[in-house]
Structure 1
Amino acid sequence: MDRQRMSRLAHADHPIAAPLADESVRRFLDRAVTDGAERALDLGCGRGEWLRRLLARYPWMRAEGVDIDAASLDLAREGAQELGVAERLVLHEAEAAAFVTPHRFDLVLSVGAAHAFGGLLPTLAAARELLSPGGHVLIGDGFWEREPDAGALSALGATWDDYADLVTTVDRVVADGWTPVYGHVSTVEEWDDYEWSWTGSLSRWALDHPDELGTSGAYKAAAEHRSAWLRSYRGVLGFVTLLLRVSP
């Protein structure tokens, strides 16, 4: 089973593909959509959950999303149709890091998609090029809650310098010319809900489709992911979401 399909199945019960609770998502959107905001862009939108919630909550907004996974974009379109917001949503099947458009956006989102750009700061550089003056960037990425050991790094397929601690992460963002106007560190409860949902959704699919191609691989992947999380990186990898504006 290809990784994109596996990710879609694993996020079936947690469509915000990051360790954020619904209340955290709502709070960020309320702070990000300020007076005069009209256009939003999600770089690495997946199934478009952030944008669909934004469009449903703010009926004057228009939004665009970019992702390489055509099947996830189809799910985003279906969800937008069900919510009655499809006419205000444009989706692009493209590499987020290579996306260009003549438009500028009052809100640029990229939560949990920094890998597509090669890291946090390159993601912010791409967002800056697409941001309207006075606009907001909403970005989420990992950080080290505590120093990872070899087991955690192996389980995550990461190196020590893939992330920094929280203080260093925020310092790097500020030094890059951004001012945080809000932020949230995902709680243990948010992380646990995300990981139990990821592994549980994929396991449930495998149990319900025993004769389908890819079932054994999906079941094994869910079990290995669950073991790696519980044994190796639970409490080691953190996740911070920041709402940013360009510094003066």
Structure 2
Amino acid sequence: MSEPPALGNGAHLQFMGPLSEARAGRIAVRLAAAGPGTVVDFGCGWGELLLRILAATPGATGVGVDVHGPDLVRGRANAERAGLAERVTFVEGEAGTLRRTADVILSLGAYHAFGSVRDALVAFREMVAPGGRVLFGAEFWEREPSAERLARMWPGASAGDCTDLAGLVDKAIDAGFRPLWIETVSRDEWDEFESGLASDVEEWLLAHPDHLEAQAVREKLDDQRSMWLRGHRDVMGFAYLTLGAG
């Protein structure tokens, strides 16, 4: 009998994050316009945005690093189909252990690998080449979370886990960047991402209701959905900051 797919593997998602096709296209064009020769994606997943930037920047080379091997296999296959296999390398490992100078650095929700938001921004400021760009994606509070909402988020969630959007931008400036573009995800982008994380597993449950693992899988899905709908939805936002380095 078929085993359940891994929860949160993103099989039905184009991007491993709340990112629409339209926004991804605009970001890729914006970063390619700087004419980068090298692009590094920390916590790349399957590196869809990395590949799009390389496709828009003839001659540029890229490196994607992530701890999740299956995502990297998917990334290599996508690169092969896009004719980019000779220009990109996917490395399995902790993003925080790689130190690589690049013209463009991507970090979309992967700052934890470096410690805090501040730690990650300081590290990227040291690694980005003069005149380079950093695309930094991170959570922020759209409004101050109540104790009730925090209790329904991830275990141990606290108001200090994020700042508001202005505070997040201030941290980038304090690290030595200038904010070239500030944008935040829409509710539709969040909903597509959260639904897509669970959809293939939900489909498996419908097809295998009597599987020995079905109840455990159902409970995990219900917990994940509750954290989203009863916890962080409309409270926590996600920002994409395009940052310039002098």
Q: So what's the TM-score if we normalise by structure 1? A: 0.88
Q: Which structure 1 segments of 5+ residues have no match?
A: none
Q: Aligned match of 2:134 in 126, 132, 137?
A: 137
Cα 1:220–1:115, aligned 2, differ >3 Å: closer, same or farther?
same
3-state SS of paired residue (2:22): helix
| Structure 2 equivalent of residue 203 of structure 1 | 202
Is the deviation greater in 84-93 or in 236-245?
Answer: 84-93
| 1:21 to partner: Cα distance | 0.8
| 1:228 to partner: Cα distance | 2.3
- C-alpha distance after superposition, 1:102-157 (max 9, x if no partner): xx211000001122222211111222232111100001000001111223323233
| 1:237 to partner: Cα distance | 0.6
| Structure 2 equivalent of residue 75 of structure 1 | 74
Counterpart amino acid of residue 7 in structure 1: G
| 1:80 to partner: Cα distance | 1.2
Take 1:235 and 1:118, find their aligned partners in 2: how far apart are those partners?
26
Take 1:214 and 1:38, find their aligned partners in 2: how far apart are those partners?
48
Take 1:165 and 1:64, find their aligned partners in 2: how far apart are those partners?
31
| Structure 2 equivalent of residue 85 of structure 1 | 84
3-state SS of paired residue (1:110): strand
CA contact (8 A) 2:42 2:66 kept: yes
CA contact (8 A) 1:142 1:163 kept: yes
Take 2:223 and 2:28, find their aligned partners in 1: how far apart are those partners?
34
Cα 1:239–1:77, aligned 2, differ >3 Å: closer, same or farther?
same
Q: Which structure 2 segments of 5+ residues have no match?
A: none
| Structure 2 equivalent of residue 115 of structure 1 | 112
Q: How does 1:210-221 map to 2 (within 5 A)?
A: 215-221=214-220
Q: How does 1:1-248 map to 2 (within 5 A)?
A: 5-8=6-9, 11-101=10-100, 104-154=101-151, 155-157=153-155, 158-208=157-207, 215-246=214-245
Number of residue pairs aligned between Structure 1 and Structure 2: 240
Counterpart amino acid of residue 222 in structure 1: L
Cα 1:85–1:160, aligned 2, differ >3 Å: closer, same or farther?
same
3-state SS of paired residue (2:225): helix
Counterpart amino acid of residue 80 in structure 1: A
Take 1:50 and 1:212, find their aligned partners in 2: how far apart are those partners?
36
Take 2:174 and 2:208, find their aligned partners in 1: how far apart are those partners?
50
Identity rate, percent:
36
